[in-house]
Structure formats: structure tokens, C-alpha cells
């Protein structure tokens, strides 16, 4: 059995969006203070410091992945100029944006969860490993 550690951080961003074809209130322009919860895992601790990854580095990478979304109208930001800017699509987009930013670290991105408000979240993991 291999030891496994999981780290997570939650970062926030503010944005507006309109859900196309929704046929309800959310089809109208509205905004959220979104949160993005990121989970990484790995099997090896740094021998000197005995940590998987510095939380500061994980926050910095996550903030970098969110920068293009923060304080923007998501319907105007690629790929959401074509895709519906739903929490589900946001979680997948953030996952695929963040993955290469973590390549220098001994971790694997497990999942990204995007919440429009507390208790209303969508999670994405390409492997289904939640």
C-alpha cells in the first residue's frame, strides 16, 4: 500500500454570467462571489521539510488559474463565449487550466469544486476520484 496525502485550498473570485437557454431567473445577467476548492494528492513528502507541497504554492497556482475569470463577465471570456458558464463547466475549465500549472510539483490534481454560494457547488474530476 502506498502512502497518499491530499491537500486542498479554497480561493474566491467574483464574476457575472448569464446561463443560456435556462428559461429562468439565471438566464438574466447576475453575479456571484464564486469559490473554487482545489484538491491535489501525492505520494512523496519533501525529505527536508516533510510536506507534500507548500500551501502558498498551491494558492498561487490556483489564483493564476482564476485570474482570467475574476471580475469578468464570463459569457465574454473564452471558452464561455461558446460554452455555457455553468458551475459544472467552470469546474472543468479551472481543472484543465490548473493542471499544467502544477506540473512542476509532485502532485496530481484530483478535483475542482466551484460554488456559486455556500451549499450550491459543482465538482469535476476526470477520473471520478472525489
The binding site for Zn(2+) consists of 17, 30, 32
21 in catalytic set: no
Q: How far apart are CA 80 and CA 90, in angstroms?
A: 9
Known binding-site positions:
17, 30, 32
116 in catalytic set: yes
Which is nearest to 108 in space by CA: 50, 39, 48?
39
C-alpha cell at 91: 469546474
71 in catalytic set: yes
Q: How far apart are CA 5 and CA 30, in angstroms?
A: 38
The one catalytic residue among 12, 26, 27, 43: 26
Q: How far apart are CA 64 and CA 67, in angstroms?
A: 5
Which is nearest to 17 in space by CA: 6, 33, 35?
33
The one catalytic residue among 27, 43, 71, 76: 71
> Is residue 24 classed as helix, strand or coil in its secondary structure?
coil
Catalytic residues: 26, 71, 116
Amino acid at each position: 500500500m502506498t502512502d497518499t496525502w491530499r491537500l486542498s485550498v479554497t480561493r474566491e473570485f467574483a464574476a457575472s454570467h448569464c446561463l443560456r437557454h435556462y428559461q429562468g431567473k439565471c438566464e438574466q445577467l447576475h453575479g456571484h462571489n464564486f469559490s473554487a476548492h482545489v484538491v491535489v494528492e501525492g505520494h512523496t513528502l519533501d525529505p527536508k521539510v516533510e510536506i507534500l507541497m507548500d500551501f502558498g504554492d498551491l494558492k498561487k497556482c490556483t489564483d493564476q488559474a482564476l485570474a482570467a475569470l475574476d471580475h469578468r463577465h464570463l459569457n465574454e471570456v473564452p471558452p464561455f463565449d461558446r460554452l455555457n458558464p455553468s458551475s459544472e463547466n467552470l469546474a472543468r475549465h479551472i481543472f484543465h487550466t490548473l493542471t499544467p500549472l502544477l506540473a512542476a510539483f509532485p502532485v496530481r490534481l484530483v478535483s475542482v469544486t466551484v460554488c456559486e454560494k455556500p451549499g450550491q457547488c459543482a465538482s469535476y474530476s476526470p477520473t471520478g476520484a472525489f
